[in-house]
Structure 1
Amino acid sequence: MAIEGLGQGPLDYAVCTYGASRLRCRGPRRHLDGGDYVAVLGGIETFGRFIEQPYPDLLEVALGMKCVNLGVPHTGLDAWLADETFLDICAGARVTVIAVPGAHMLRNRFYTLHTRRNDRVVRQTEFLERVYPDLDLSQNFFVRHLLADLAAKSERRFALIRTELQSLWISRMNQLCARIGGDVVLVWLGERSPDAGGNLPDDGDPPLVTREMLRALRGRIKATIEVIDASDTREAALEAKVFAPHEAEAAQRVPGPLAHARVAESLARVLRSQLDLKGPAGPRLQRRSA
């Protein structure tokens, strides 16, 4: 089965769905009876496009516990919050791992997005047109392209949009964690540290997210691991990825096998030290001292 926007390629991603969900994630489909599993929620980095063994698979081997890959390309907070099946899977897990999403793929006063493909702009609002009356935005169908054009035209006006998106990100991340109800471990997998940049859409992934925003998350965030994947050359960016010739440009833009291995290793270390793998299903992580 092909997944929307990915097309066919050398890898079989065994794309699957769960329950009533219309979100297609990487398979194989897992049986979730008993709740003895780790849920891993994320976008294309968790899905592992061009990667034979994405980090949820590696984590499963390291922990000896089922890890359910809920990575769906082109999705973000809005798609996850609207999907009751995904939320229930996470709520039933012993712990949920969330790959930190960008703040750009959120509905707001300036534009609306596709309900499942959160990278697609469905409509630009009259409010945006009033803020940017001197810019023709009719051909901006993808949110990151739209934001790049807005920032290039006027950083001062773009600051209005950035402030709203960053505020919404904090609110909806807290909402997501509250809906899950259990313990959450965050994965920062991007091209930069959360301490560097984050003010412009082209600063690097995850777009428009900063350290201050991570600190503003409440309650159930038990740990955050950070892996920076910044390849110096095109050859390094493509190393050990599996892709067709026409997919090379897209393959450059996603984390590689080494980054996935580092994420899995760090996650396994955190979960192994805090999760009672021998206890009954459903125990919570121990609180970490500040």
Structure 2
Amino acid sequence: MTFAKAGDGALNYYPCRYGRSRLVFRGPKRTPEPPFCAVIGGSETYGKFVETPFPDLLEARTGMMTLNLGCLNAGVDAFLGDPAALELVARARVRVVQAMGAQNMSNRFYVVHPRRNDRFLRASGMLKALYPGVDFTAFAFTGHMLDLLRRSAPDLFPVVVTELQMAWQARMRTLAERLDGPKVLLVVRGAVDQDNVLGSAPVFVTDAMEAAVAPAFDRVVRVRVPPGARGTQGMVFSELEGPAAAAMPGPAVHEEIAAALAPVVVDLAGNVG
């Protein structure tokens, strides 16, 4: 385990933007040079607390420039709501799309921030009617809000989860449709969600949901994080960030993801006319 003093920035992620995109990606910023691979996703793709995230390892394995377009705590909405980011991804030879959790998306029950998708903005009339005793103005984050709903009325919570799952499937199909060309769905299972209250990542995404959207992609790559792989060995974080680091995939998992993706990306890139 590696950590800096509390309050210090343990890693410099060189946050950057590309073109007119309003999303903040992990840097250093690069100039895309065809042919390149673009990887979009959430905190796992960003590589929080990891010096060399899997997009960098994938580039080393394939020899193809690989842009890390992961955003912290992102859901599908972050990319669907940013045409400039999708334009950049469209220029890639191969696109890798991480299956992000279903909790950080706007839906019929609540609205999230368009870029910082873990930020809860407001509840709909439907959700207020379902939970009349809850003061939704007290919430700033989706994880906190959903955990309270789950604990306060377990019998009602499946109604909320079902809505999120339906929205996730529709949104993932839409994203795939907008990414013309070879694309890979990356599913990383077994890590604990950052709030550590809603279950393992990708939150609320079942195997059946994965199977339902898989036909929209050319390939599906699955990586499961075994319980023994959890921990903070090799990760870089400040003392106060320890609990958050323990919820994220470590360097060994990033190596495994890159190893699983590399032959698929090389094959798809070679088949592009």
TM-score by length of 2: 0.90
Q: Classify the secondary structure of the residue corresponding to 1:155.
A: coil
Quote the Cα distance in structure 2 between the aligned partners of 1:227 and 1:165.
23
Rounded Cα–Cα distance in structure 2 between residues aligned with 1:207 and 1:231: 17
Paired amino acid for 1:27: G
Q: CA deviation at 1:231?
A: 4.1
- Within 1, Cα distance between the matches of 2:121 and 2:198? 21
Which position in structure 2 is the counterpart of 1:205?
201
Of 202, 219, 224, the residue aligned with 1:223 is 219
SS at match of 2:218: strand
Mapped to 2, the partners of 1:123 and 1:274 lie a distance apart of 42
The whole-number CA distance in structure 2 between the counterparts of 1:213 and 1:25 is 27
Q: What displacement does 1:156 show? A: 2.8
Q: Cα–Cα, structure 1 residues 212 and 229, in superposed 2: closer, same or farther, change >3 Å?
A: same
> Matched residue of 1:247: which SS?
helix
- Whether the 8 Å CA contact 1:183–1:220 is kept in 2: the answer is no
AA matched with 1:88: E
Alignment match, 2:109: 110
Instruction: Provide the residue aligned with 2:92 in structure 1.
Output: 93
- Residue 245 (str. 1) matches residue 239 (str. 2): yes
Q: Which residue of 2 aligns with 1:128?
A: 127
Contact 2:183 2:219 in 1 (8 A): yes
CA contact (8 A) 1:26 1:47 kept: yes
Q: Tell me how far apart the structure 2 counterparts of residues 217 and 245 of structure 1 sit (CA, whole Å).
A: 39
Deviations 1:229-264 (A, max 9, x none): 24459xx51100011112112111111000000000
Contact 2:191 2:249 in 1 (8 A): no
SS across alignment from 1:152: helix
Give the alignment of 1:32-181 within 5 angstroms. Answer: 32-33=32-33, 35-181=34-180
Alignment of 1:255-270 (within 5 A): 255-270=249-264
Distance in structure 2 (CA, Å) of the matches to 1:155 and 1:119: 22
The residue type equivalent to 1:108 in the other structure is N
CA RMSD of aligned residues (A): 2.2
Count of aligned positions: 264
Cα distance in 2 for residues equivalent to 1:232 and 1:154: 33
* Aligned AA (2:204): L
Aligned twin of 1:287: none
- In structure 1, the residue matched to 2:24 is 24
| Structure 1 unpaired stretches of 5+ | 1-6, 194-200, 285-290
**Secondary structure of the structure 1 residue equivalent to 2:117:** coil
Q: Which amino acid aligns with 1:23?
A: L
Contact 2:39 2:96 in 1 (8 A): yes
Q: Which has the higher contact order (CA 8 A, sep 6+)?
A: 2
Give TM-score scaled by structure 1 length.
Answer: 0.85
Gaps of 5+ in 2: 1-6
User: The residue matched to 1:86 in structure 2 has which SS?
Assistant: helix
Q: Secondary structure in 2 aligned to 1:188?
A: strand
Q: 1:29, CA displacement in angstroms?
A: 1.4
Give the Cα separation in 2 of the matches to 1:252 and 1:218: 30
Give SS of 1:133's match: coil
Shift of 1:67: 0.2
**Compared with structure 1, are the counterparts of its residues 242 and 222 closer, same or farther at alpha carbon in structure 2 (3 Å cutoff)?**
same
Amino acid at match of 2:22: R
Q: Deviations over 1:16-71 (max 9, x none)?
A: 110011111011212124x3100000111111011110000000000000000000
